[in-house]
Chain A
Amino acid sequence: ADGKRDVVDPEVRAYVSSLVTALGGSGADEDGRYVLGDDALACLRDLKKWLKLYDEKANRLDVARCLAESNLVGGDLLQILAAWPENATDDRLKSKIALACLELLVPLTWPLDKNSKEMTVNHHRHVPYLEIAQLGYKRSIINFDGARILHTAIRCALPSMAVDMGDRSTRDEGIIKLLLYFIRNIAMIAPPPNVQYEGDEAEISRSATIDAFDYQDVFHLLLTVSSTIGEDYNTQDVVVLDILFHLIKGVDIEKLFLDEKAADNSKMDELVRLRKKEAAMLRSYQTNAPTRHNRFGAMAWLQREDAKMTTISGQAAVTDSSRGLAKMDATKKFKPPRRALKGDNGPMDFDTPVHLSVQATKHLRAFVEEFLDSGFNPLFNHIRKAIDREAERVLEYHPRQFFYLISWFLEAERVRRRNKNPSKVQKSAVSEEVDSYSLVASVLNQEMFVTLNRAMDYTFEHKSWQDLSAAMKCFTQILLTVHDMSESPLEDDQEIAENILNRIFYEETTHDRVANITRTYKDQGFGYLDSCTELSHHYLRILEQYSKQNVDLQVRSRRRVRRKKKAARASGQDEADDDIVDESEGEDTTRAERTSHERKFEFKRFAARFLSQGCVDTFVTFAAYYNDLKSSQLKRAHRFFYRVAFKQEMSVMLFRVDIIALFYKMVKGPEGLDPQSSSYKEWDEFVKQILKKCTRKIQERPELVVEMLFSKINSTAHYLEYGYEKQTVTTK
């Protein structure tokens, strides 16, 4: 801005800065108070016109840049808003000016779209600068000393919100939307990836945002809007969705629901655990570290066949042949070309974990609980309908947020329940007071399943992996919730859960979809890998439990249905076609035995879909991250391999050199699992079994030595496993 070679047309800059100057200012005469210029309102309107008619129309961002450089937000707008005291709400001029400020703040904080194809040279020039400027806006807005800016913004919209939905003018609707978008923008602004923010990160972090939202009553606003959606609000649903998404994405639910004392403890535990992990890493390094100085110069050679030798330097090779081989491998330079993982690092990414301060955790938890109690059903039901009917306001990214938020809140609800009654022993005693699952019922109905299935199909087909990932997370959490419901002491819950499970159990298209998604993983990024392995793990597990459901339980459920029908009949609602009423107990038992037998067979057939090499490879890729996985994730991989090898007796699928090498490394290192960790033991046991089976198989069938190198097709695998061809009966 030194006058020479300016990036912005000097005339534009002159106009804009003269407007900013005329807006007002603070001077020594007024003790540093901010004083409005004579024609402040007109100035604000002119600035808005500049943004609209120059920047937006010509698609330039020049005015935004000038405004960022002249510190309009921190120097003027926030000062003006702060000077609107609570008791002066009736002052027409002041409220008009406040609204005009808000009208400028929204476009200035609007998310900058970097990926659109319409980016011009000007965009490339200004966007990096504006991104940093927006961080500054956010910092000064949520940390403003003199007043609660967000709260003031809410006050601008209160008169419009007080009007009944039917009586609101377009202007009223516009003001409400303006406010919600302002909050969305504030929640959304975050340092872009690959940019080092120079200020204090803590001032714009998620924790700071949550604290500000709590202190400035934004949470109340969100609760009000979401709990009365459909009655007092209608089209605002997607903006609220947007706000919630940017507020909670990446927040760890388990940590959120730890109480403060436990949180302190868990912080200590965390520290202890990390120190232990570090110590284990050091230990494993030290066992392999050289014992003498680095110029000691030991050299070993490996006698190969045909009088060939391989030389290896360093002591490692002298002591241990396998470490010698590792060293030989490590010195090779060639790397085959590799494709990068396709993750999402933009603002719509939800896989990056976020840390919250103790204070923010408390605030967010309170909000989440209230939201679950009042806003969950109305909001998500409303949005589901909007998505189904493809309403115009539903943008491309909304379904992703929708599914992610449902998965997040369902998990929150489950964790909350678990914490509420930790001892399951007492549940019979307090069964009167148990809450039903009606608080989250809106996402467990048939319509939701239709929407979800359609979304999974569509995103899978169109390869929009992050959207699919969100939908899978949602499905997983629904399954887990239904599963919890089936163990609820309330009969109604049990019945609903049983109906849902029954439907899923016989839905072949869903089976195919889950198996297909798992089978086709290919560099979609770790978040996707995590979601798809999680889904298939729980899907298999829950359906297996359902198929094993004992005869006794089924008899009981039939008895329950009968009782209900009887009651219905007694109350006069006769139904002619109930086949259950007239059966006796004995018939119930035989019927139940037959069903459970059928289900076992069904399940076996279904589980066989996960025996393909593709599914195994997906889980191998997942397990290869073993050093970064949590114990629940390690368990997931363990159970899958265990299922393949022992429950379904296709261990041959795991007999491939790279898989064996991975298993070996996980247990024996170097850089293996920590022997003190809980997962180590079960992996050790499992790997030992697999290795035993593998060596035995090689001796039994020497062909396996070659096949160990390749992926096996099913018929080959079957032959290697059992020693005879699979009988292929074609009945169809």
Chain B
Amino acid sequence: SKGKSAAGLGIDEEIEVTRKPRAPRVKLDEHRLLSKNGIPKLRKKAKNLKFKGKGHEYSDASRLLAFYQLWLDDLFPKARFLDALAMVEKMGHKKMMQSARMEWINEGKPHSGVH
């Protein structure tokens, strides 16, 4: 039978069409947000954030916005600032994010003896 198929010039053989799977789309999900480059980095960098205070409200705000924009550009370069913000906000409703947020807030709270 092997000879026969050879005589048929391999026409009968099934050719398997393999398409290269499309590269998975990069998503701004909670895992990315909680990764090293995500919110942990934001918290670390925030310590260097300095404001000038009274009389410099707008320049302070512009610095603050730039701070977030650059962080988001590193984390998820393809989306525009406001779009990325909306995505992050949406992620905030996920269980995992909620508990992480709770933890970060509790860290900041003054320690009381009762727990």
Q: Which residues of A contact B (CB under 8 A)?
A: 304, 310, 321-322, 325, 328-330, 332-336, 656-658, 660-661, 664, 667-668, 687-688, 691-692, 694-696, 698-699, 701-703, 705-711, 716, 719-720
Task: Provide 7 A-B residue pairs closer than 8 Å at the C-beta atoms, listed in order of the A residue.
Answer: A322-B66, A660-B61, A661-B81, A667-B58, A668-B62, A709-B85, A720-B105
A189 to B51, CA, bound (A): 61
A624 to B66, CA, bound (A): 20
A207 to B57, CA, bound (A): 50
Residue from B61, B64, B70, B105 within 8 A of A703 (CB atoms): B105
Q: Mark B79-115, 1 if CB is under 8 A from A, else 0.
A: 1111101111100110001000100110111000000
- Report B-chain residues with C-beta under 8 Å of the C-beta of A322: 62, 65-66
Which of chain B's residues has its CB closest to A719's CB? B105
A660 to B81, CA, bound (A): 13
- Report A-chain residues with C-beta under 8 Å of the C-beta of B6: none
Known: A325-B66, A658-B85, A661-B65. A705 touches B78 (CB 8 A): no
- Report B-chain residues with C-beta under 8 Å of the C-beta of A716: 101, 105
**Is B73 located at the chain interface by the 8 A CB criterion?**
yes
From residue B90, how far is it (CB to closest CB) to chain A in Å? Answer: 9
Which of chain B's residues has its CB closest to A613's CB? B89
Known: A304-B70, A304-B74, A667-B58. A709 touches B83 (CB 8 A): no
Judging by beta carbons under 8 Å apart, are B57 and A695 in contact? yes
Residue from B53, B54, B73, B74 within 8 A of A328 (CB atoms): B73
Residue from A321, A336, A660, A668 within 8 A of B83 (CB atoms): A336
Which of chain A's residues has its CB closest to B53's CB? A695
Judging by beta carbons under 8 Å apart, are A664 and B62 in contact? yes
In the A-B complex, the 3 residue pairs with the closest CB atoms: A710-B92, A705-B46, A691-B57
Q: Which residues of B contact A (CB under 8 A)?
A: 39, 42-43, 46-47, 49, 51, 53-54, 57-58, 60-62, 64-66, 68-70, 73-74, 77-83, 85-89, 92-93, 97, 101, 104-105, 107-109
From residue A617, how far is it (CB to closest CB) to chain B in Å? Answer: 10
A515 to B68, CA, bound (A): 32
A516 to B9, CA, bound (A): 73
- Report A-chain residues with C-beta under 8 Å of the C-beta of B74: 304
- Report A-chain residues with C-beta under 8 Å of the C-beta of B77: 332
Which of chain A's residues has its CB closest to B40's CB? A706
A691 to B65, CA, bound (A): 11
- Report B-chain residues with C-beta under 8 Å of the C-beta of A703: 104-105, 107-108
Known: A325-B69, A658-B86, A660-B65. A688 touches B42 (CB 8 A): no
- Report A-chain residues with C-beta under 8 Å of the C-beta of B105: 703, 707, 716, 719-720
From residue A712, how far is it (CB to closest CB) to chain B in Å? Answer: 9
Known: A329-B80, A336-B83. A699 touches B66 (CB 8 A): no
Known: A322-B62, A667-B58, A703-B107. A709 touches B92 (CB 8 A): yes
Known: A321-B66, A705-B46. A695 touches B80 (CB 8 A): no
Judging by beta carbons under 8 Å apart, are B57 and A692 in contact? yes
- Report B-chain residues with C-beta under 8 Å of the C-beta of A695: 51, 53, 57, 60-61, 64
Judging by beta carbons under 8 Å apart, are A709 and B58 in contact? no
A325 to B73, CA, bound (A): 10
Judging by beta carbons under 8 Å apart, are A710 and B101 in contact? yes
A711 to B88, CA, bound (A): 10
- Most chain-B Cβ atoms within 10 A of its Cβ — which of A321, A330, A656, A691? A691
- Report A-chain residues with C-beta under 8 Å of the C-beta of B57: 687-688, 691-692, 695
Judging by beta carbons under 8 Å apart, are A657 and B65 in contact? yes
A321 to B63, CA, bound (A): 10
